[in-house]
Chains A and B, each alone.
Chain A
Amino acid sequence: MVSVYLNGQEMLVGAGSTVADLVASVLPGAQPARGLAVACNREVVPRSSWPAVVVCSGDRFELLAPAQGG
């Protein structure tokens, strides 16, 4: 297991987990085609890369979505 932070909360994920796995752990089942964005350590991870990017211990992820505002 490795320890990462997702939206400020520490969580443990299996070694070798990808960003896609991380998103699926929060949003199980079919995910919306639009409206989600992931950053890892302040860099955007393009959606097309989610299945390929393996998370590392200590990574800080932000999973954002549109909300009412402005």
Chain B
Amino acid sequence: MTGTDPSAVMASDPLVIAGEEIGPRLILGTGGAPSLEVLGEVIEASGAAMATVAMRRLDPAAKGNVLDLLVSMGVRTLPNTAGCMTAKEAVLTAEMAREALETNWVKLEVIADDKMLLPDPLELIDAAEELVGRGFVVLAYTNDDPVLAWRLEQTGCAAVMPGGAPIGTGLGLCNPHNIELIASKAKVPVVLDAGVGTASDAVLAMELGCEAVLVASAITRAENPPLMAAAMAGAVRAGWMAAHAGRIPRRRHALASTSFSDMAETFAEQ
């Protein structure tokens, strides 16, 4: 890939999922923001075009709501099935989200317990098959297991979203080799999801071949959420550009960038 204007190069290859152009490659998770006001600042600073929401029991006393905020800022809503521990729960939650939000897109999460928050592979596959069969566009949160990611793709998931580390840990990419394997094999977009702690994690994910990064806690729970949102947006852009710029090979020995020829006679040689 060549080009003199980096922004034009990036713009020529936007994030596309299930045939729909999403645009920016940073997807925002809205969980953890201390207030809707801060969330609005985060959205503005991140430039994200898509953000996740959960489905929860209505609180009639709540002041304002996240849906109105996202709609007012022109951000696409991606409902998730956060908290579900069985395929049955996840399918019902997705159906509720489709009814409430008039979208058949869903970020599928089926976790094994409330401590590790790691995906339950068996329930996840069952839920993915069922939801794809019901016409959903499924973006599946998964372990960093290349085989499971491949199986999810085979079920018809529109994107696979391996975690770099358990949700909310900020540990970064614990197994970058597996993330690279997933990204190199997948025919659908790979979105690094969960575990991101700081901007360098997002850069690495993109350099490894991910198409996008989803960040929630690392932004919303940072001391300065809008500043971290801007950092993540820049990191995702930097990582994508580096991944497509053709990095130099790693070498065992040094390779001078400056020629040794035509040097002046040194005092040591006099």
Contact = CB atoms under 8 A, between A and B. Distances in A.
B225 interface: no
Given A66-B66, A66-B100, A36 B29 contact: no
A4 to B, nearest CB: 15
Interface string A32-60: 00111111001010110000000000000
A68 B40 CA distance: 12
A70 B31 contact: yes
B55 to A, nearest CB: 5
Contacts of B33: 68
B101 A67 contact: no
B57 A62 contact: yes
A15 interface: no
Interface string B72-83: 000001111010
B55 A64 contact: yes
A70 to B, nearest CB: 3
Contact of A35 (B65, B82, B214): B65
Contacts of A38: 99
Contact of A68 (B30, B58, B96, B109): B30
A56 B92 CA distance: 21
Majority SS at the chain B contact face:
mixed
A39 to B, nearest CB: 6
B31 A69 contact: yes
Contact of B57 (A7, A42, A44): A7
Contacts of A34: 67, 100-102
A65 B82 contact: no
A30 interface: no
Nearest to B100: A37
Contacts of B100: 34-37, 64-66
A26 interface: yes
A44 B29 CA distance: 26
Interface in A3-33: 7-8, 26-27
Given A44-B96, A70-B29, A70-B80, A64 B60 contact: no
B162 to A, nearest CB: 15
Given A27-B58, A27-B60, A35-B65, 6 more contacts: A26-B58, A35-B101, A42-B92, A66-B97, A67-B56, A69-B80
9 contacts: A8-B57, A34-B100, A44-B92, A64-B55, A64-B56, A64-B58, A65-B65, A66-B79, A70-B82
Q: Which 7 A/B pairs are nearest by Cβ-Cβ distance?
A: A69-B54, A70-B52, A37-B100, A67-B56, A66-B53, A37-B99, A37-B96
Interface of B: 29-33, 39, 52-60, 65-67, 77-80, 82, 92-93, 95-97, 99-102, 107, 109, 214, 216
